[in-house]
């Protein structure tokens, strides 16, 4: 990937937005809570200043996340190719071509008219003007700065849910509901602002984390029964094949968060979940946890880069164009070569 850093300020991005009339807000395929929250907050803010704006979701979307959007706020599955009136695109929570594959042709046709807001350390120059803040725990932290620059009240609504609630969804989910080491005073200060703006955090937690389908129990059991431990028990690998999804009736929307479960065990530093897709591609999720002062922790962002993926130091992913058995062999080989030496 190319050098990836900020090329503009929040004020300059706000000026580009004010100068547009019809804006498409985009994010990576299969959006998570931070991606969706960023899209929805941006769409609501732009509409609040009188602009035409719509969000576009590609790939599978967790129904619980989709439920946070009004029907007229987002389009699912259709790139904005046919709408020639769009004069600016805002790309949030990614800057990587391999994460926007369903949209890449359209984005390339919009060269020079794409702006970006991101918090990842790896990406491509998709957006000519972009803010990349790797100190932010979530992309919605960066979007919140844009909302402030536009002078929008966080209480502005898009139907049932407000800008504040969309921002909170990203902030909470990307910090593990404020458990991860990415939580800083700035994160908690923004969370406090959002709560003061009327966010019902208990309701949002129930919608997103306590609203799974019964099939989730079956697919979780199968994932846990597949666990193998590597490198003296420090790394866990779980596998889910097409047969597991077929037997349980689960889909890709039902496996969110399962990768984190092995990290609840003492001594396990890294967890990998490999799930086979019907297209012959294996989706890989990688997580790690801090092991204490002086310990050289595992950077799963660097680990995922071996497979063309990326993300964060503690949470990353990749897609390997191989069936599950072959992808497993590749990941196990990389795990065997991984430097997991104790103290730095």
User: Region 101-129: what's the mean pLDDT?
Assistant: 94
**Predicted pLDDT of residue 210:** 94
pLDDT in tens, 47-80: 999 999 999 999 888 899 999 999 899 998 777 7
pLDDT at 237 over 50: yes
pLDDT in tens, 302-316: 999 999 988 888 899
3-state secondary structure the chain: CCCCCCCCCHHHHHHHHHCCCEEEEECCCCCCHHHHHHHHHHHHHHHHCCCEEEEEECCCCCHHHHCCCCCCCEEECCCHHHCCCCCEEEEECCCCHHHCHHHHHHHHHCCCCEEEEECCCCCCCCCCEEEECCCCCCHHHHHHHHHHHCCCCCCCEECCEEHHHHHHHHHHHHCCCCCCCCCCHHHHHHHHHHHHCCCCHHHHHHHHHCCCCCHHHHHHHHHHHCCEEECCCCEEEEEECHHHHHHHCCCHHHCCCHHHHHHHCCCCCEEEEEEECCCCCEEEEEEECCCCCCECCCCHHHHHHCCCCEECCCEEEEEECCCHHHHHHHHHHHHHHCCCCCEC
Look up the pTM and report it. 0.87
Domains in the chain, please, with CATH?
10-209 (3.90.1640.10), 215-337 (3.10.310.30)
User: Region 270-291: what's the mean pLDDT?
Assistant: 93
**Predicted pLDDT of residue 342:** 59
pLDDT at 344 over 50: no
Mean pLDDT, the chain, whole residue set: 93
């Amino acid at each position: 990937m190319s050098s990836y850093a900020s090329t503009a300020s929040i004020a300059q991005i706000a000026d580009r937005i004010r100068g547009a009339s019809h804006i498409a807000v985009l994010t990576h395929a299969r959006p998570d809570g931070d991606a969706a929250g960023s899209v929805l907050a941006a769409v609501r803010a732009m509409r609040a200043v009188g602009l035409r704006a719509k969000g576009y979701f590609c790939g599978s979307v967790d129904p619980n996340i989709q439920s946070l959007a009004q029907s007229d706020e987002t389009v699912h599955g259709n790139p904005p190719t046919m709408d020639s009136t769009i004069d600016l695109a805002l790309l949030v929570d990614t800057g990587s071509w391999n994460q926007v594959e369903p949209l890449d042709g359209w984005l390339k046709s919009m060269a020079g008219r794409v702006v970006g807001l991101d918090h990842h350390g790896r990406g491509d120059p998709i957006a000519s003007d972009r803010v990349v803040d790797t100190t932010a725990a979530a992309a919605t932290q960066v979007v919140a700065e844009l909302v402030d620059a536009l002078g929008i009240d966080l209480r502005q609504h898009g139907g049932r849910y407000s800008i504040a609630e969309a921002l909170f969804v990203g902030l909470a989910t990307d910090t593990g509901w404020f458990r991860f080491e990415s939580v800083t005073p700035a994160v908690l200060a923004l969370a406090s602002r959002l709560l003061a703006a009327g966010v019902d955090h208990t309701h949002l937690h129930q919608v997103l984390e306590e609203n799974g389908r019964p099939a989730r129990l079956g697919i979780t059991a199968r994932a846990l029964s597949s666990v193998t431990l590597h490198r003296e028990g420090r790394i866990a690998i779980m596998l889910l094949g097409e047969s597991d999804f077929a037997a349980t009736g689960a889909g890709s929307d039902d496996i969110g968060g399962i990768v984190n479960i092995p990290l609840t065990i003492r001594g396990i530093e890294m967890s990998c979940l490999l799930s086979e897709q019907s297209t012959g591609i294996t989706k890989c999720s990688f997580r790690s946890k801090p092991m204490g002062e002086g310990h050289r922790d595992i950077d799963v962002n660097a680990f995922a880069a071996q497979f063309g993926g990326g993300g964060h130091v503690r949470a990353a992913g990749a897609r390997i164009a191989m069936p599950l058995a072959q992808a497993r062999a590749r990941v196990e080989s990389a795990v065997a070569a991984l430097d997991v030496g104790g103290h730095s």
